[in-house]
Every structure is written in structure tokens, then in C-alpha cells.
Amino acid sequence: MLTSLILSAAVAASGSSVPADGTSWTIHADKVYTSTGKVHESALIVVEGGKIRAITPGVEATRDALKAAVVTAGMIDASARLNSGTTSVEQSSEVTPLVSAEFGVDLFSPGWGRLARKGVTSAFITPLNQNCIGGMGTVLKTAGDRSVKGRTVEGAPMICGAIGSQPSQRNSSAFGRPTSFFNRRPTTRMGVEWEWRKSLFEAAQAKEPDASQKVLLDALAGKVGVFVQAWATQDIRTAVFLKEEMAREGFGEMRLVIDAGAEAWREPAMLVRSNTAVILPPVPAQGRTTDGALMSVECASVLRDNGVSFALSGHGGSRLDLQAGLAMRGGLTREEALRAVTLTPAQLLGVDGRVGSVEAGKDADLILWNGEPFEATTRPVGVLVSGHLALDPR
Amino acid sequence: MRSYPSRSDRRSPLRKLRTLGIALTAGAALSAASLAAQDEPDPAASPDLFLRANKVIVSPGKSLDNMGLLVRDGRIVAMGKDLAAPEGAQTIEGEVICAAFIDPWSVAGVDASSARSDRVDTASRATDALDPYGQDEVLDDLLASGVLMMRVEIGSAASVSGVGAVIRADGATPVLADAAISARLNTPGLDPVSRVGQVDRLASALGGAKKYADDTAAFESNLKTWEEEIAKKETELTEDFKKAKKARDKKVKEGKEDGEEVKEKKYKEDKRPSPPKFDAKKASLARAVGGEVPMVIHVEQALELRELLRVTRPFTRMRMVIAGGRCALLFADELAERGIPVIVTPAPSSPGGDVGEMDPGFALAGELSARGVEVLIGSGATSASASRDLPLLAAAAVGHGLDEDAAFHAITAGPARVFDLQSKVGSVRRGLHADLLVLSGDPLSSSTRVLASISGGKVVHQAGN
Amino acid sequence: MKSSLSQPLLALGATLLLASSAAAAPQVDKTAVKAGTVITLTGEAIPDGVIVIEGGRVTAVGAASEVQIPWDATVIDQPGMVAFPGFVEAHAARGIDRPNETLDVAPFLDVKDSIDPVNFYFEEALRQGILTINVQQGNDTVVAGQGMVVKPFGMTVEQMMVRPRSGVKISAAPKRGKTRATQAQALRGAFDDLRRYLEEMVQRQKDGDDFDRREALYQGRELEGEAAKGKPLACSGWTIDGFERVPRGEVDEKREPLLRIIEGKLPVIMWCATPMDVHAALRVAEANGFTATMTLALAPACWKAAAKIKASGCSVILAGLEDEELDPVTGESIETFVPKVFHDAGIPFALMSTGDANRSLWYQAARCVANGIPRADALAAVTTAPAEMLGLGDRVGKIAKGTDGHVVLFSGDPLDITSVVEHVILDGAHVYDRSKDVRVKQLFDGTRPPGTASDTSGEEDWPGDGDDPEGDDETENNG
Amino acid sequence: MLISCLIAAAPLLGATAADDAFALRASHVHVGDGQVVLDAFVVVEDGVVKSVSNNAPRGVRVVEVDGHIAPGFISLRETLGAGSENSERTRKSTPTADLSFAFDPTSPSWKGLVAEGVTTVLLPAGSSQIAGGQAAIVSPAAGEVLKRNAVVTLGLSRSALGSSTAPTSFAGLYAHLGEQFDAASEGSPLADAKAGKVPVMMRAVTRSEVSRALDFAAAHGLKGAVLGAPEADDLVDEIKASGLGVVFESKAAPASSQDVVKSALALSKAEVPFAFTSDAGSQGPLGMRMQAAACMRAGLEAGAALRAMTADAARIAGVDATHGTIATGRAADLVVWSGPPTDLTSRVHSVYAGGHLVHSAHAHGAHQ
């Protein structure tokens, strides 16, 4: 009875031709994976004004509906690395919490369309990993509005930085060189760790903290998440130890997310202990990857087995749906893989209120597949971003 | 047929290439196939085409009013006041019809790395570097601006850069595979001595090529005489054979008797003359020295040009063309007297009309032509897209003193004549290839628009769509 | 790093397994493979089928109910697995110590002399179920050496060899330090030089014969009629009158391979990096009459020349699946799925594997399916199509009576993302067993079994890989 | 050639005595705002246009010129003569710097520019600074500064970022600029810009740089124009909404840079004011006219092209009250052309700046 009511409403909506704004559709799928564990068979999804209005299982397709074998939520790349390179990070200082990644964003870069057409509908953008503490990251839709504001998905604020070799890359001692602000610490991993600890301690102990120290205080208090790139085991340890040290000092519990944690599989217990989440980088072609970290397709299932919360990422250059497929090759179920590229990253970034699953009321970020998701033999044939057709299935 | 409409939105041919898929590449492939069938217009061209305009400029300074043109199989087959459009012919009307613009000095349509290379020699060929795919966008814009042909070079960083070609902007297809050999005497930042040295090196290269040509000629005549002698000798020998055989048989018999081997008579003859060692580079350059193809030499400064004019006097059959020639005014009389044309490149970057410097800028074309030098205007091969400016450059030259007809000649009939294509393009006559423009006004006026570009009988651009 | 003492031993064990079975290979006379599904690629898949291999060749294949298994055959029974013919790599510039010489024109070289049987690449190929590999020199050349078809197993090149002198690698794309113009010039030069060389040879022969004749006349001798020593030149591009006068043996061995190319006796694999290279390639092939024996190896961008290729009748090997261009006006990226273009144009095509362990030939085929190419055609592009190109159509790439005794046992359907190669039977010998695979066991530390050399020939050898968003490896795109 | 140059040289030394009153009579007078008056008299008094009318003025000497009279062209960026003196390398921001002191009136190169009919030039700061200073408007022919502190120049493109000097990021750039504007005290250049008293010229090239610049301008209520923006047509709605103009940088060959051509057409359709630069230093004095002609051959109307080089340029630079058109009270910067002024085939017969004859192509010609 109720369903039929919704259905009639749905049909009514679908019957009406697509409004001018092009963000209202009806979509029919043989199967809908919601990312919340539910699976709807032969369902009709009604999209209006860029939002999912209703999902009605067990009905036939309407004539003007977009048809697909499978529909899933749009993927969320928690480490899309899509920024205009060096101009996204303020290198005049190693610690720049006030910098916002959105200034590094080039909405006109082809990377956005590339991501959207491959099914990534939201991407986490960070300043380039050249600073210890680079600045605030931001979640953007990959298509739709032409302004950064219009594309932004308000989420839990995240301060982004790096531990490892990158932040020390261009630095050097001033000896015998023309002086520039690159004549400074850190030139080593130790230096990087030192910069982190120094700035956190100074923030915590400041009499009247300045603007950037306020940000760090929020980070220490867990109000602002801390998103740290750390490829290799030693760097992952450094990040966790730092978090634990701050807690011991009574500065607060940082909300730590390890980005590009290729070797997170080595010491999962440590991550569970410190309840640290991990973003896995793309699986390298041959064993080793950046900072000499070792990684294989099995990493995701190791983290699952040990109860570490993790998401997959594509680093812009690599297809995220392929990463999900490789995780399945490594032992994840399809549902687990789907969660790792939709709901989990949404939760880590605090945007699960708007995106990350197929539920009425959420943004219409949807992927239309020509078969079971993440198989090598299937691909997204249609993509909606906030209701905009980024890839037309027709 | 590969005809792009002018872009109304930000969509490039690439997109279209994608949407139209193979159909387009078929066009490109087809045009490349005509590499073999050199300068013949594409027989698979569109059906009959009928053009009409209030004014048809048949050649610089000569125009006919209110004419119709019939184009069939890539050629102009009929012209006349009361000529009517035949059944089913596509008709295009406009204010003015004239010959398509030809850029006598360009790199459009040439693969960029080959164009800039310094590793080419006189045997290298521009036709090996034509890229109809990589420069889609650029070529598309050329069609829209009415520049339908270019003489292209490769190896702009080399002192001598091999065989240039005249190509159509439509699909970068060759019209003439060996348009000219080109050389450069403008290496920047050299001291006067090595600048002169450059010229001498060129001179000795030309000399070497000439010697090679002479040697080859000599060999051929020697061979002829040798073959005649041998032929004669052979007939004699055949006639004398019976006698010789008898004599030998006799010997053999005697030999048998006193058991000793026959001593054969020693046979001698002149050795076949051998040809000079094959040298592709010299062979190629020799064609320029012998006047088979023009020799285009890029030279800007007085020192080089004076030297060049001196050292090239002995090569009487060589057809030299000066490219650039900022200082050419100083030698205008000799250039005029020796009938050496100059490809002027009034680059906007040349400081204008400032006689403190030797560079007369845009005025050069006008003043050279006033002194009786044949002036061509070229885009200077600075970049592939530079050719697009050709009509602007010609107009600017007019704005600085060049006679309007001379300017039109400089980008149509002029290049056609210098590169031996006047029997095919460069003017509007019955029997010529249909490489034409339909315009909304006078060819060089800035407010004129190109309504349609016809390349080898195909409509390759039409304004508005 | 968890380096345990047992690990090297394990590795040793594995190599022993390989070695022993290698040694054993000749003895193993009769093998029968029973699998839940047998994909023969000659027709429908056979549920619960049997493959009988005797003396290294398939003697019977069919449903278990129909095929009689010899009493003395070693039976490999895997009801849960899928039997597959094994993939064919149409072209790989790997498994050799150095992909290219500095020499411009070196057709007299042979990869046979540089193939390294213990190269990591061959071990990996076996693991991926690639059982036939055409090893060729790299693309950084004008005319490179001759390739060789091998199987990825054996202690010596001779054991690995399937077919020697499988073809000469030529590049229409500029070698390092050359431009498109000079590359084409060098290519033209190579064949012009051959032609001049042969003409001079014939001329010398003619001169000599004429002299002898005249000398005989002069001396009054009867000249014993000299028979033509050689064969006439059989080149559809150009020919030389009186070539039959010259004994073939006298042709300089360094030039001899070129002669065999223009006579269509030695196949050519022509590398093209851009569509304009395709034009250059076909020009030189037509001029010298080897279009019919030429296979084009193409970087993704070459799809634009598909019509031209179709007209030439050449088949193609595709290095990379996707072409991406940036629209010069909008800067938007435009992707083209390359195999689809060739499939739709009806041009026979083979796919190449990238260096990525997780995305070998099976993956390339799977992507074709994902992008709308029928499964049968996609599978053909990694099996029968390359087999045909190598002239081994009746031996490899399918399972039928008379084909080589190769069987790959997958854990599931070969194109499933979760499927892996469990067993490999090569010429009837059981040469790979995943459960005994050291590297798979030790996946988490990148150690190699002792005695495997690393694969030195780099990916950069295939610009195609770089252009191919599908074939990406760890790319930081924020540099 | 030689003669003409000598003639041209003379006025630069300020040698001619100005006719305090005279009239020019021509077949066409292009006012500059698009309209053309046929067979008209332009009366000039004390270097200022007194009237434009069809009936002959009484009591003033009438000079018959054969051809068209148009306002002198205005180039909205010219570094000629300023050399490298227009950008301070030691600091990222020197908002109070006065570009009029970078002006070298004796630079010989000005002659070429005047000979092409350019009578007014804006000297902005170089693009390597963020707030480089206040552009000056000068008369190259008279060798005088017409207006100091005319336009505030901002560098918001990548070339304003350092590789080893702060800021290295756009975030840093805008943080820095924001502080500059917030700190600006009453009456300072940036304060005037915020108050809309002085126009700004913001250099932004890529589309994202342009849209960031537009956001910043909106946030701080800036008026003026974006310098660069070759792909402006892709942002035409945003630009239209911002109320800013666009100044295209004249490119080296091809002048018919398709980006600029398409953008010019789009802006003209949307009635967004745009102008060109001459950049004679690198592009030669003709760069500006070539660019305009390229746009015309692609369909831009002659009137619009002329506006871009005269009236609209004046508007963007905030000097439309005194320059850019031939109307009563405007400076008598007049160019006599052999034909339509926007047509490349037309020649410059003579050039008047502030009522002085500063260039004459031929000894005869303009003056009987």
C-alpha cells in the first residue's frame, strides 16, 4: 500500500519531463547497492533537484528512466591529490595551518572530468605534501557548479600534513648556498617529526595562541581531524607515537587519519590501539612504492581482518574502481570494497550526512554500472554528481 | 570529406574527430594516400560546385565583374557572366572571389620536432614530417583564414635543411613534394668572421654539389662511349671467331702431339667506367644548383647577404630566393637585376618604422617592391599557427606603403610562380585547380570575412556553420 | 621485514620443483586434465571436461563422458577449476638483457643471443598464464634485430624456443636523437642502400660474364654456357633484372635479413607512436613490398589512423587500451577506448600486457568486455589473434586435437577480478603450482627466488603504457 | 622613411609652436564611441577639441585632410621606455610605488608607437609583483605624464608567485593581499581602490586565476579590469556579473590567437568592455591593431574594434572624461588615416597630440 503510494509519486515525478536544471531524473536498476548493507532488486530511484527523493524496490522501469544493471553511490576519493601542484602549498614556512587547499584548486583542470567519468563524485583535496603541516583540506564534488564554493561539501575540518621524506625534500643548510627560506629544518625524517612536535607543543603551551596555533589546539582537542601522509612503517609509527605522546601530555586526543599508509598492514595492532584510520594508496605495479614501502592487493583484507577502519584512494592518476577491484582480488567482498570507496571515506571526512550511500535525502551522487561493480569486465556507464549527468548513460 | 565548420563554441576538431570517428580519419588517410599521386586534385572531390560573386580577381590587378565559376573534379571548368548553376550543384555566392592565399614560408602541418630540428641534411624531406593529426586545430584555423597552401620547411635549427614541400592546409597533403631546398645564414650570436664562414661553408657545399653533378654527367657520357666501343669490339670478335677457333684448334692439336698445355692468348679491354660514389646529400643539393628547384636562403643581416650575393654569382642556373632579408634594401638593385625574389616577413615584433636601426619593419615590402624587387610575404615559419596571420601581414604591408596589388600578388600568384605552381594555382583561370576563396569584401580589408574556402575543389570551410 | 631462515629454503624447494619437472618434461608421456569447465576457444565451453595430452600434444578434448582417459596417463583432476588454453603475448621487448642496440640498422642481430631464461619476466609470465611470448627488441631503433617466439619455461634458450627468427622489429617513430623526418629518411636509406648494393652486385656479375664471353671469342674457345646461379628477386615493391645471375650465398650476411624482408620471407613488426608514423610505416612498406608480412605495433594515439590501417590489411598489436587527448581549446580530456575502434573497424588486433602484476593479459581482455567488445573477440585478442599473427594459429591459443599441450587452470573464470592461475601444464608437463609458488607465499616481502635475474628492460620502452590511464602505476599527479 | 622620421622626431623635442586654434576637415570623423560623422570639421583650441560639426567654423584656419580622423589609440599596457624599471624585485608588494617615475620620455622607441597612431599609454607595474604600484597614464608623443596614480595594478597570476620567496602558493598570495587591503589606511591607493575611486587592473591568465580574481574583486568591491584572461569567453557570464572589463595582452604571432579572438567576440556580444595592449617592446607597435584586425576578420564589427582601442580603453583606465573620443572638451589627440582607422591597409597620415602635430608620414599630405 505505502510502497504503491510512493511508487505513484515516483512515477508521477518520472512522468514529468526533466526540468531545465537537468538535476532531476528517474533511474531504474536491476540491483542497487546502498553501501549501508541493504541491496534493492529492480529498484526505481527518483532524483529531484540534485537530491535522492525516493527509492522504490521491486518495480518495472518507466519509459523515460535511465536504465542500469547496477547502481551504487558515487565513489569518494579520500586522497585524490588533485591540486595545482606547488602553488597549492605555502612553502615559505614548514607549518602553515591557516592555508586552505581550496586556493590550490583548479576547477578547470581536466583531472575533474577524468575523475567524474570514472565514478568518483567527491574528492578530498589537500595542499601538496611539501610541508610538515600544509593546511586545511576540503571535500569537493568533481562536477556540477563552476565555483569552488558551489562544489564544496562541508565536512569535519581536517588539517593535512606529511611525515616522511617529502617535507624535507627541498630544504638544506644555508652553508655555501644563496640564502632562501629553504635553508632550514627539516632536512631529515627526524627534522620533520621535530617540526610537528615543536609546533604542537608550542600551540599547547602558548599563553595567548595566535590564529594558526588555535587551529592546532583544535586538532589536539580532536575538533579538527589530523590527516597525515605516511607511506612507510617508520613514518606510520611516528604519526601514532606523536598522537599518543600528545595524549600522555594531556593535550588531548587527536583524530588521526593516516594517508597513503601503504605499510599499515605491518602493524595493524598499533592502529587499532590508537584507533587510527588508514587511507590506502593505489596498489603499486611491482611490490614497492613511494618511500620504499611494500604493498600488495592483500593489504586491505589484512586491515579488515584486524578491524582497522580503512578507505581506498586513487591519488588522481589511478582509477578508484580498479583499486576496489584489486582489494577484492586481495580478499575483500564486493560489499566491503564498495564501503571502502563510499561510506567509510565519507565518515572519515565527516560528509556522510550528504554523500556516501544511496538513501533518500542524500545527494544524488550515483554510478550506473553495466554489470557488477569493480569487476574488470564492467565499468561506470553513467555518473551523476549532485544530479548533474557527468557521464551520460544514453 | 574532411571539412570542419568554423567553431561557434569551445569545441575542437579533436572532439569532432571523436564523434565522427573513423569517417574523419578516412579523409585524412585518403589525403595522405595522394602522396603518391602528387599534385593532382583529389578525384574523389565533391560533386559540381558553382560560385558567383560581383567581383572575381583573376590575377593581381585584373578583375572581372559579376562572374560565375563552375568547379568540377577539383578544377575550374567554366567561367562566365551568364553562366548558370547546373542541376544539383552546390552554390556559394559572395562579394569577391579570388585565389586562395599561399604562405611561401611556413611550418604549419609539419611535425613540431622535425620543424625545429638541427639534425637534418639536404636529403631530408618535409613530406616525411607532415602531420595531419597533430595539428588538426591549427590547420582548421588556416582554412578559416583563407590560407589554403603553405611552402613548408623542416629543420629550422639546421644550416641546410633539405627539401621543402608545398602542401594544402586541408589534411596537410602535398601539392608539390620538392618545392625548394632551404638554407639559413642567420645563426644568432656569431662573430663576423664565423658569420662570413657560414656563407663560405654554404658556398663550398654548393660547389661540392655542382662538382658531383658534373662528375655524374661525365660518367654518363664516358659510359656511353665505352659501351659503344665494347659493342663494336664484340661484333669484331664475333666476326673473327671462326678464324680464332681454327687457330686455337690447330694449337690444341699440336699441343696434344708434343703433350703440352695450350697457352691462351691474353685478352685485354678497357674497364667499364665507374660512377662517382653515390651521395644522397649532394645529389639533392645538385638539383637546386642546377635550377631544377629553387634555393631559399634565410638571411637577415647585411654582412651575410653581401657575402651570399658575391659567392653565388658563379651558380648562374641556381634560382635563389631570399627569406627574411631585413637588410635587403641595401642590395635592392642587385636583387632586382638578378631577379631574386624576397620573402618578407613583416613580423609585428619588428620595431616599426624606426630608421635608427637597419630594420625598416613593415615598410620593407613596399620599398623593395618600389625598387623593382619581387616581394613575397610569408609568416616566417616561427610557429605552425603563425601562417594564420598571412592576410593580416599583407594588409599591414599595404598600410606601410606596399601597393595593394603587389601585396595580393605577394600571397597568391607570387608564391605560385616562384615555386613553379603558376600552371595550377595562384590565379583564377579555366583549367586551374580550384583553390579559391569566396569573400565578403576585398581580400586584404580587415572588415572582410572569408565566406568559404575551396581547396582542390572541396569546400573545406564555410562561415557561419 | 620478516626474513626467516625457512624462506630461502622454500624458494629453493620451488625452483627444485620447477627444475625437476623441467627435466621430467620429456618423460611425462601422457597427461589428462579434468576440469569443472574447459574453455577451448574453438567453440562452446565444455562443462566437466577432459583434455588428454600425449607426447606434448593434445590428442583429445571433450566432455568427461565422451573422452577416454588412457589408463597410464597422469591425471590432474580439478573439478573446481577452469581450464584455459593460455595467453599469447604477441610482442614483448622483455626477458632480454638490453632492449636495443645503438646501431641504427642491425637486422642481423637476434634476440636469441640476449634472452635470459632465468629472467624474472618469464617466471612472472608463467604465473600469469602467458605460455607463448614473441620476444622482440625495443622501439628505440630504426631497423632492429630478429625476434623469437618462446615459452616461459626452460633452463636454456633452446628449451624455451618455439620459433626462431619470428620477425624483425622496425620503428617508424623516431629513435632517440632523431626526428620524424630523419627517421623516415634513415628507414628509406636502409632499403635504398640494399637496392644499390644488389644492383652493383648484379652489375659486377654482368661485367664479369660479358668479359668472359668476349675473352672466349677472342681466344676462340667455346664458352661452356654458365647456368644462372641464383633465383630472381621476388619483391613486389621493386626488382632488379638479372638478379638470378648472382648466387644468394654471396649476399653480405649483414644485409641478407633485409633481402628476406623485401621478399616477404621475414615478417616485420613495425612500431608506431603516433598516427603520422602509421603513414610513414605504410609508405616504406609499400615501397619495399612487405605490407603483407607487416604487423603494426601501435601506441594508443594511432587509433586515428584506423581507416588507413584497415585499407592496408595489416593486423595490429595494441600497446595500451585508452588514448587520452587534451582538447587544445577547452583543455578538457577526451578519452578513446582504442581496441573498440579497431574492433568496430574490423581490424584484427592483439593486446599487450603491461608491467603490472595484477593487470596482465586477462585484465586487458576484461577491459575490452567492460567497454562493449563481445567476450569472444576480447578473448581472441589475447589468444588466437596473436597466435595467428605469429603463424602459430594451429598450435597455440586454443585447445583442440593437435595443438601444443598447454593448459592453464584458473581458480575461476579467467576474466573474473578474483581469479588466479592455480596450475600450468606446458607441453603436457605440470610446470606451475600456485600452492608451491614462493613469491605468492612471500608476497609481503619482495624477495625473489634465488637465481632469478630482475627484468631489466623498462616499461618506458612502451610509451603506450605511459599514455594509458588504464596502465598506470603509482602516479603522484601533484608534482 | 628617413624624412618622415626626422619630421616625427621634431615634435618630440617640443619644438613646434601649437596652433592655439585650428580646424581639421575630413570626409569621415570617427568619434570613437562607434558613431561616424561625415564631412565634418573638428575644431581644436588650446589642445582641446572645441566642437565637431558639419558646418565650417568661422575665424579659424581650416586644414583639409584627405581621409579619416579618429581619436588617438590608447594602449592599456606598454613597457616600452620603462624597460625593467616597472617592477620592484625586493618586495612582493609596493602598492604606493608611482609608475610615472618609470617613464622614460626620451626613449627612441616611442616614435614607432606614435607613428602607428597610439597617443596614450598606460604604464602598469610588472606582473611579478602582487601589488606592484599605481600605473601612470602618459602621452608618448608629448613625453608627458597625463595622470599619475591612475590605476592600481595587482598581479594575481602564477608569475606573481615565487619558487623560493614567499608566497609560493595562491593561498599565500591571497592571504598577503587580503592583509594589504585590510591594513590600507584612508587615502592610500588600496583604500581608494576599495572605495572604487581608483580602478584596478588585475593580471590573471588561466581560467582559475581569473575566477579567483573575480571573487577577490567582488569581496573587496573593486572596479576596473582583468589583464590577460585569453579564455575570457569561457567565463563571460561571471565577468559580466562582476562589472569588470578585460584587457587582452597582445600576443606574439599569431596575432589571431584564437583564444583572444573568440573571447573578444564573446565579450562584445555580452557588452563587456574590453581593450588591447600594444607591448611594442616585445610585439612591435602594430601588435594592438593586428589583434583588433584579427578579431574583425573573425566577425567583430569595425565600430567595436575601434571602441576597444579608444573609448572603452579610456573607460577601463578611468580617463574617459578626457580621452578616448573626439568630443567637446576632450584632449585633441587626433590621428588622420588614409582610410578606416581599424583597417590594417590604412596608413597614418598625421598624428596630433594635445593639439600638436607630432607625426606626419609625408612632408606633404595632411598640410596644404
Using CB atoms, list chains with 3+ pairs below 8 Å to chain A: C, D
Domain total of chain B: 4
- The CA distance from D329 to the nearest CA of chain B, in Å, is 31
Provide the pLDDT for residue D3: 36
pLDDT tens figures, C165-185: 999 999 999 999 999 999 999
- Apex CA C350: angle with CA C349 and CA C352, to 5°? 140
Nearest by CB to residue A289, choosing from C370, C443, C474, is: C474
What average pLDDT score do residues B280-294 get?
95
Return the residue in B140, B439, B447 with the most chain D beta carbons within 10 A, the one to mutate for interface testing.
B447
In this prediction, residues C288-313 reach a mean pLDDT of: 97
Report pLDDT for B227.
95
Q: What letter would DSSP give residue D143?
A: T
Q: Which of C408, C415, C342 is nearest to C125 (CA)?
A: C408
d(CA C62, CA D198): 89
* Per-residue model confidence as pLDDT tens digits over B406-463: 999 999 999 999 999 999 999 999 999 999 999 999 999 999 999 999 999 999 999 8
Verify whether the Cβ–Cβ distance D158 to A87 is below 8 Å.
Answer: yes
Q: Are residues B228 and B291 in the same domain?
A: no
What pLDDT does C184 receive? 96
Each residue's pLDDT, cut to its tens digit, for chain A (394 residues) gives 444 444 444 444 444 444 456 889 999 999 999 999 999 999 999 999 999 999 999 999 988 899 999 999 999 999 999 876 888 899 889 999 999 998 889 999 999 999 999 999 999 999 998 899 999 999 999 999 888 999 999 999 999 999 998 888 877 776 666 667 777 778 888 899 999 999 999 999 999 999 999 999 999 999 999 999 999 999 999 999 999 999 999 999 999 999 999 999 999 999 999 999 999 999 998 778 888 898 989 999 999 999 999 999 999 877 999 999 999 999 999 999 999 999 999 999 999 999 999 999 999 999 999 999 999 999 999 999 999 999 999 8
Q: Are B56 and B82 in the same domain?
A: yes
Are B257 and B144 in the same domain?
A: no
Residue D366 — very low, low, confident or very high, per pLDDT cuts 50/70/90? very low
- Do B193 and B336 fall within a single domain? yes
Q: Regarding predicted confidence, which is higher, A363 or D86?
A: A363
Minimal Cβ distance to A110: which of C333, C358, C366: C333
pLDDT-derived band at D166 (thresholds 50, 70, 90) equals confident
Query: For B449, left (φ over 0), alpha (ψ -120 to 50), or beta?
Result: beta
Give buried/exposed letters for A232-242 (b at 16+ CB in 10 A, else e).
Answer: bbebbbbbbeb
B208 domain residue, yes or no: no
Q: Do D171 and A127 touch (CB under 8 A)?
A: yes
- pLDDT tier, D19 (very low <50, low <70, confident <90, very high otherwise): low
Higher pLDDT, D34 or D214: D214
Q: Is B276 on the interface with C (CB under 8 A)?
A: no
Same domain, B189 and B300: yes
* Cβ-defined contact of A85 to C326 (cutoff 8 Å): no
Residues B54 and B16 in one domain: no
Q: Is B44 within the bounds of a domain? A: no
Q: Tell me how close the Cα of B25 comes to any Cα of chain C, in angstroms.
A: 6
Asked whether the predicted pLDDT for residue B145 surpasses 70, the reply is yes
C-alpha cell at D117: 597612431
Does C180 contact B at CB distance below 8 Å?
Answer: yes
DSSP for D64-112, please give it. E-SSEEEEPEEES---TTTTTTT--SS-SB-TT-BGGGG--TT-TTHHH
User: Contact, B320 vs B312, CB < 8 A?
Assistant: yes
Confirm or reject contact between B279 and chain C (CB < 8 A): no
Q: Quick one: cell of C183?
A: 627517421
Give C205-242 pLDDT, tens digit per residue: 999 989 999 999 998 888 876 666 778 899 999 999 98
Same domain, B256 and B144: no
* Distance in angstroms (rounded) separating the CA atoms of residues D75 and D291: 12
Regarding whether B456 and B342 lie in a shared domain, the answer is no
Handedness of CA D83, D85, D90, D94 (dihedral sign): negative
| Locus of grid cell 694449337 | B251
> Whose grid coordinates read 574453438?
C42
Among A93, A94, A106, A170, the strongest candidate for a mutation testing the D interface, having the largest count of D CBs within 10 A, is A106
pLDDT digit string (tens) for B215-238? 999 999 999 999 999 999 999 999
**Do residue D253 and residue B350 have CB atoms under 8 angstroms apart?**
no
Residue of D nearest to A106 (CA): D208
Same domain, B436 and B301: no
Nearest chain A CA: its distance from C389 CA (Å): 25
Q: Are B241 and B288 contained in the same domain?
A: no
Task: Compare CB distances from C218 to B14, B230, B267 and report the shortest one's residue.
Answer: B267
Predicted TM-score (pTM) of the model is 0.90
CB atoms within 10 A of CB A100: 22
Minimal C-alpha gap between B29 and chain D (Å)? 27
Nearest to A377 among C332, C354, C370 (CB): C370
Q: With bands split at pLDDT 50, 70 and 90, how would you rate the model's confidence at B6? A: very low
pLDDT of residue B30: 33
| Planar angle of CA B408, B409, B411, nearest 5 degrees | 70
Angstroms from A225 CA to nearest CA on chain C = 22
In 3D space, the residue among A158, A239, A169 whose CA is nearest the CA of residue A197 turns out to be A239
Contact state of A81 with C366 under an 8 Å Cβ cutoff: no
C283 interfaces chain B, CB cutoff of 8 Å: yes
**Cβ neighbours of A105 in C, within 8 Å:** none
Are B178 and B307 within one domain?
yes
Q: Say if C and B touch: at least 3 Cβ pairs within 8 Å.
A: yes
Q: State whether A103 and D166 contact (CB < 8 Å).
A: no
In whole angstroms, what is the distance from residue C72 CA to residue C28 CA?
11
D157 CB neighbours in chain A (<8 A) are: none
The answer, for A94 touching chain D at a CB cutoff of 8 Å, is: no
Q: Which B-chain residues 252-271 have CB contacts (< 8 A) with chain C? A: 264-265, 267, 269
Instruction: Write out chain A residues lying below 8 Å of C333, CB-based.
Output: 110-111, 113-114
Q: Which residues of D touch A (CB under 8 A)?
A: 158, 161, 163-175, 206-208, 211-212, 215, 234, 238
Least CB-CB distance to C355: which of A85, A285, A298?
A285
Is A touching B (3+ C-beta pairs, cut-off 8 A)? Answer: no
Which band of pLDDT confidence, cut at 50, 70 and 90, is reported for residue D255?
A: low
Please tell me the distance in Å from A277's CA to the nearest CA on chain C. 21
Is cis: bond before D167, omega within 30 of 0? yes
Provide, rounded to the nearest whole percent, the portion of chain B with pLDDT above 90. Answer: 71
Strands C57-63 and C315-318: unpaired
CB pairs under 8 A between B and C: 149
**Residue among B125, B162, B269 whose CB faces C214 most closely:** B269
What's the distance, CA D283 to chain centroid? 15
Q: Can you say whether residue C217 is alpha, beta or left, with left for phi > 0 and alpha for psi between -120 and 50 degrees?
A: alpha
> Are C358 and A326 an interchain contact pair (Cβ–Cβ within 8 Å)?
yes
All residues of chain B having their beta carbon less than 8 Å from the beta carbon of residue C180 are 111, 113-114, 128-129, 131
Q: Which residues of B touch C304 (CB under 8 A)?
A: 17, 25, 28, 133
Task: Give C246-291 pLDDT, tens digit per residue.
Answer: 888 889 999 999 999 999 999 999 999 999 999 999 999 999 999 9
- Asked if the model's pLDDT at residue B68 lies above 70, the reply is yes
B137 closest CB neighbour out of C177, C211, C328: C328
| Pairing of the two strands D144-155 and D200-204 | parallel
Q: Do the chains contact at B347 and D253, CB–CB below 8 Å?
A: yes
Integer Cα distance of B82 and B429 in angstroms? 16
Task: Please provide the size of chain D in residues.
Answer: 368
Cell of A269: 595492532
**Of residues B131, B234, B237, nearest to C276 (C-beta):** B131
Does residue C215 belong to the interface with chain A, where contact is any CB pair within 8 Å?
no
- Neighbouring residues of A21: CB distance < 8 A, sequence distance ≥ 6: A49, A387
| Mean pLDDT of all residues belonging to chain B | 86
Which structural domains are found in chain D, ordered by start?
A: 2-71+326-367 (2.30.40.10), 73-317 (3.20.20.140)
What phi, psi does B412 have (nearest 5°)?
Answer: -135, -90
Confidence category of residue D122, pLDDT binned at 50, 70, 90: very high
Contacts of B328 in chain D (CB under 8 A): none
Identify which of D362, D358, D347, D368 has the alpha carbon closest to the alpha carbon of residue D116.
D347
Strand order in the sheet with B375-377: B101-106, B147-152, B160-168, B173-184, B295-299, B320-324, B342-344, B375-377
Q: What's the pLDDT at A183?
A: 76
Answer whether C206 touches B (CB < 8 Å): no
Are residues B367 and B405 both part of a single domain?
A: yes
The residue to which cell 620533520 is assigned: A192
Task: Give the closest of A91, A105, A146 to D168, CB-based.
Answer: A91
Q: Which chains touch C (3 or more CB pairs under 8 A)?
A: A, B
C421-426: strand order across its sheet: C57-63, C46-54, C30-38, C74-84, C407-410, C421-426, C429-433
Q: What is the mean pLDDT of chain C?
A: 87
User: Could you tell me if residue B45 is inside a domain?
Assistant: no
- In Å, how far is A317's CA from the nearest CA of chain D? 21
Q: Which of A129, A289, A317 sits opposite C477 (nearest CB)?
A: A317
User: Which of A383, A364, A389 is closest to A48 using CA atoms?
Assistant: A364
Domain that holds residue B17: 1-39
Chain C residues touching B12 at Cβ < 8 A: 327-330
CB within 8 A of A152, min separation 6: which ones? Answer: A102, A138, A139, A140, A141
Q: Of B232, B252, B271, which residue is a domain's last?
A: B271
Report yes or no on B401 lying in a domain.
Answer: yes
The DSSP 8-state label assigned to residue A143 in this structure reads S
Among B255, B271, B287, residue at a domain's last position? B271
The CATH number given to whatever domain includes residue B71 is: 2.30.40.10
Q: Which of A108, A315, A375 minimises the CB distance to C417? A: A375
